[in-house]
Amino acid sequence: MNKPPVSISLSSYGAELVRQRGQGSFIEVLAAAHATHIEWREELLTDESPLQLATDTQSQGLESIYSSPIELWLAGQSKPNPELITTLARAETFGAKWLKVSLGYFTNKNDLQTLSRALTRSPVQLLVENDQTLHGGRIEPFQRFFADVEQHQLPIKMTFDIGNWQWQDQSAASAARLLGRHVGYVHCKAVARRADGKLVAVPPAASDLHLWGQLLRHMPQGVMRAAEYPLQGDDLVQLTTEHVATLARLGQLRLESAHV
């Protein structure tokens, strides 16, 4: 049985280390750990050469996702974020097949025809993620957005961030049931509340892995999934290898039992 594709969001290694080492230094780590994809983080870029990263990634057999913190829809504007076109082009220079952005302020007045024209000019597929904000981190706006996406037959999939739903007290299980068929990429993130009350991403416990497997049942079989939680230790290759293998197994036991 083919293993599902597994990505690592480079933010998992910590902003300070990633900026210090440069994102290109993690290509060999991910390749050695048997990841299939690497997620570049725009907010952590320093002086990296996009074309060099694209070449080095391809030589290691990895595919790329480009993550940008821009929002697809800005408050009070019907047309998509004017930065989208340049960000799509930027993602392409990094060799990325996908661009991940946040939903932003989606309303029933947003202009999806203009969005469609922007997407037809780029080979990069758009992935729209639930973030931690009130306007972009709740289930209902995504239901309306993807209903419009279907109506206009746009080539857009969802990045389903499992942990982010907690910032707005949304049920990840309900989100998976209602939005799962639109998902093209899953950000796996366990969440804990610190003593000061702040929510933070943490590595998964066994209970988290069980929950994630349940959520994946509502999504396309073998959907691409990523680690977006702290991966910090002395041996990053060994640590990453363990987590890549764990994420690749999510949802697989159910499939194997179905083939017995």
Cβ atoms of residues 180 and 222 within 8 Å: no
Examine the pLDDT at 260 and tell me if it is beyond 70.
no
Residue 256 has pLDDT above 60, yes or no: no
Residue 257 has pLDDT above 50, yes or no: no
What pLDDT is stored for residue 253 in this prediction?
Answer: 59
The chain-wide mean pLDDT, for the chain, equals 95
Exposed/middle/buried for residue 43 (C-beta within 10 Å: 0-12, 13-18, 19+): exposed
Which amino acid belongs to residue 141?
A: P
What integer pLDDT is reported at residue 259 of this predicted model? 43
Tokens of 116: 């469609």
CA–CA distance, 12 with 34 (Å, rounded to integer): 16
- Mean pLDDT, range 175-197, rounded to an integer: 97
One CATH from 3.90.650.10, 3.20.20.150, 3.40.50.1970, 3.10.129.10 for 6-258: 3.20.20.150
* Distance between CA atoms of residues 77 and 57, nearest Å: 37
Q: Which residue has the higher pLDDT, 148 or 256?
A: 148
Render pLDDT for 99-111 as a digit per residue (tens, 0 to 9): 999 999 999 899 9
The interaxial angle of helices 50-59 and 83-93, nearest 10 deg, is 50
pLDDT tens for each residue of 125-165: 999 999 999 999 999 999 999 999 999 999 999 999 999 99
Are 244 and 8 in contact, with CB atoms under 8 Å apart? yes
Q: Which of 53, 77, 74 is nearest to 64 (CA)?
A: 53
Q: Which residue carries 């661009």 as its tokens?
A: 99
User: Would you state the structure tokens that stand for residue 42, as one six-digit string?
Assistant: 């725009």
pLDDT, tens digit (0-9, with 9 covering 90-100), for 220-231? 999 999 999 999
Q: Does pTM top 0.85 for this prediction?
A: yes
Distance (Å, whole) CA 174 – CA 135: 18
